[in-house]
Amino acid sequence: MTTTTLDIARVNGVPLHEANEQLDDTALRQRACAELLRQAASSVGIVSDSAGDAIERLLERELAIPEPSDEACRRHFEAHRARYGRGERLQLRHVLFAVTPGVDVQALRQRAEALLFELRCADSDGDAFGSAAREWSNCPTGAAGGDLGWVTRDDCAPEFAKDVFGLDTIGVLPRLVHSRFGLHVVEVRARDAGIAPAFDEVRSAVALTLRQQAWVNALRQYLQVLAGAATLEGVTLDAAETPLVQ
């Protein structure tokens, strides 16, 4: 869905866009979340020339993030050892559906999800993935069947690496991978786990991960409270999927 000239979204009466501005659902929800937080900051007397600064100060005040215990860190580490390995490499192929200005993101997502389902159900004796990459991929690797070769985390955009490294899946991943370039259907052809560190070596990194998870959960809950008390027009917010915390 995109907004139209006759459908201006508002939060408590404040418009989120100009009458002639086209926004997809993700951008609209992001603006709505930011406006909710800006208004909340103003309501408690936080004033700044920068809305971003005001929101940051609001969240520092409102979100109480506990320090993870050693026991919680150890449980997380044991459940996600591969995530903290050093030198992990993956042999990958992908089909990129690029998100470019003016593209219908919803239609693009539907096409990408349809291909994902098709490839997960494809006969393993053929090369459906390579054929699909040559036909559909917006990446230059499409001509080579989507082959990315062996890659490390440092070779990938961070948001892409987050969804493909530290797992044990082989084959076509069950969900689309999102990156700054668009939507990816990804096939993991092989994994090299690298070196698994001891807990004490990565304890600080584990704690940082748990603090970030706690912050995300707290922000979602806070946005849910704000949205429940607000008057929203032309936009629906699901705090569990807000773009501010993805």
- Within this chain, do residues 44 and 94 fall inside the same structural domain, yes or no? no
pLDDT higher than threshold 50 for residue 239: no
Look-up of token digits 């070196």:
195
pTM of whole model > 0.85? no
Residue 75 lies in a domain: no
- Within this chain, do residues 98 and 185 fall inside the same structural domain, yes or no? yes
pLDDT higher than threshold 70 for residue 242: no
Residue 148 lies in a domain: yes
Residue 1 lies in a domain: no
- Within this chain, do residues 96 and 183 fall inside the same structural domain, yes or no? yes
Residue 78 lies in a domain: no
Number of domains in the chain: 2
- Within this chain, do residues 122 and 174 fall inside the same structural domain, yes or no? yes
- Within this chain, do residues 184 and 98 fall inside the same structural domain, yes or no? yes
Residue 21 lies in a domain: yes
- Within this chain, do residues 101 and 188 fall inside the same structural domain, yes or no? yes
Give the pLDDT confidence score for residue 25 in this predicted structure: 79
Average pLDDT estimate for 24-49? 89
| Domain end residue (candidates: 170, 192, 214) | 192
Higher pLDDT, 202 or 245: 202
Give the pLDDT confidence score for residue 196 in this predicted structure: 78
What CATH number corresponds to the domain at position 91? 3.10.50.40
Instruction: Say how far apart CA 180 and CA 101 lie, in whole Å.
Output: 13
- Within this chain, do residues 134 and 178 fall inside the same structural domain, yes or no? yes
User: Per residue in 145-158, pLDDT tens?
Assistant: 999 999 999 999 99
Residue 81 lies in a domain: no
Range of the domain at 215: 10-67+202-245
- Within this chain, do residues 128 and 222 fall inside the same structural domain, yes or no? no
Residues 6+ apart with CB under 8 A from 174: 120
- Within this chain, do residues 91 and 157 fall inside the same structural domain, yes or no? yes
Average pLDDT estimate for 6-30? 84
Residue 156 lies in a domain: yes
At residue 42's C-alpha, the angle toward residues 40 and 47, to 5°, is 135
Residue 58 lies in a domain: yes
| Domain end residue (candidates: 152, 174, 192) | 192
